[in-house]
Amino acid sequence: MQRISLKSFLVTLLVILMIMAALLLYLYYILSRPLGATAVDTKQMKHVFSIYGYGTKTDEMLSRPTDVAFDDEGNIYIADAGHARVLVFRSSGQYLRKVGKKGFGKGELMEPTGVTTSKDGRIYVADKALSKVVIYDGKGKFQSEFKVMVPFKPHVENGKLYLTTYGHIMIFDLKGRLLTEWGKRGRKEGEFDCPTGIAVDKSGKVYVSDTLNLRIQAFSRSGELLWVKGKPAEDIKAADRAFGLPGGMAMDEKNLLYLIDAFDNSIKVIDAKGKQLATLGKKGVKEGEFNQPSSIAYDQNGIFAIADKFNDRVQVVKITIE
């Protein structure tokens, strides 16, 4: 009889401890969010969750996340520029691992501005400060690196590595061997000024966010200019600007483009011919609001991740465009 009572006591104690642990986890979640971070949902964009880091210490929190990417399993890769590393999280937001560390040596990083993954699991990181692209395996082990003058955004599509630089679009094989490159730095159509976003459709058409020229340019797979939306402005307050500051870009399975507009604190949804369909988001600290976001990545089923740079977080949202 005494043994049964002891067993019941232990079961009851275990249940109480589990409830207390759940409450502590909930309190941690609430307290780790910034003040005023209530979710702001709209019909077209609903907040799913946000990633602020993997702990509460300063070096465990995100600092100026610049880029974000998904792999084929839905894992989230964050170029955490302020801490010179890439952080990897599960699709649920659970922390997995760090990739890279701060330094000037091989495989080390100083200012990772872009990240992407390939279907075989490799991770490609563009480091603007060190003018190189670093290749890691799926576990984050350094494989190789190659020099490129001021790289911004890598993107893997159709078995190739596309890379934006200060004034070029470069295309490599997945081992980092140059296949071709387009353009030069300038303001004319077909030229570039620090493009920080790129998307490629299944047919090989390339869409470039030509950041400091305040426009999007679309190209055929061979580099022929197809169309341009926006133009360089003489004044930052020019009324005829199509975009505040175009940044990262993603494309869904419907060939819709999702463009980050950093100065407008929004996502512009644009079809494959350059017609704008919607504007999502606004400036703020609440979930679903942005503070100079820098990049966006698409997973599947309407799920996107946004590098909300100056809110020091990555937001995962579901976007529905009918």
- pLDDT tens per residue across span 82-98: 999 999 999 999 999 99
Domain residue limits, the chain: 1-33, 43-319
pLDDT digits (tens, 9 = 90+) for 32-47: 455 445 788 889 999 9
- For residue 15, the Cα-to-chain-centroid distance in whole angstroms is 40
Decide which of 32 and 210 is more confident: 210
- In this prediction, residue 12 carries a pLDDT of 77
> How far apart are the C-alpha atoms of 251 and 298, rounded to whole Å?
7
Task: Report whether pLDDT(136) > 80.
Answer: yes
> How far apart are the C-alpha atoms of 33 and 311, rounded to whole Å?
11
Task: Report whether pLDDT(150) > 90.
Answer: yes
CB atoms inside a 10 Å sphere around CB 203? 10
The predicted model gives 122-147 an average pLDDT of: 97
- In this prediction, residue 13 carries a pLDDT of 77
pLDDT digits (tens, 9 = 90+) for 229-279: 999 988 767 777 899 999 999 999 999 999 999 999 999 999 999 999 999
Contact 290, 283 (CB under 8 A): yes
- In this prediction, residue 30 carries a pLDDT of 46
The predicted model gives 17-44 an average pLDDT of: 65
The predicted model gives 62-75 an average pLDDT of: 97
0.95 surpassed by pTM? no
Backbone angles phi, psi at 26, to 5 degrees: -65, -45
Architecture of domain 43-319: 6 Propeller (2.120)
pLDDT digits (tens, 9 = 90+) for 279-293: 999 999 999 999 999
3-state secondary structure the chain: CHHHHHHHHHHHHHHHHHHHHHHHHHHHHHHHCCCCCCCCCCCCEEEEEEECECCCCHHHECCCEEEEEECCCCCEEEEEHHHCEEEEECCCCCEEEEECCECCCCCCECCEEEEEECCCCCEEEEECCCCEEEEECCCCCEEEEEECCCEEEEEEECCEEEEEECCCEEEECCCCCEEEEECCECCCCCCECCCCEEEECCCCCEEEEEHHHCEEEEECCCCCEEEEEECCCCCCCCCCCCCCCEEEEEECCCCCEEEEECCCCEEEEECCCCCEEEEECCECCCCCCECCCCEEEECCCCEEEEEEHHHCEEEEEEECCC
Question: How does residue 180 score in pLDDT terms, banded at 50, 70 and 90?
Answer: very high
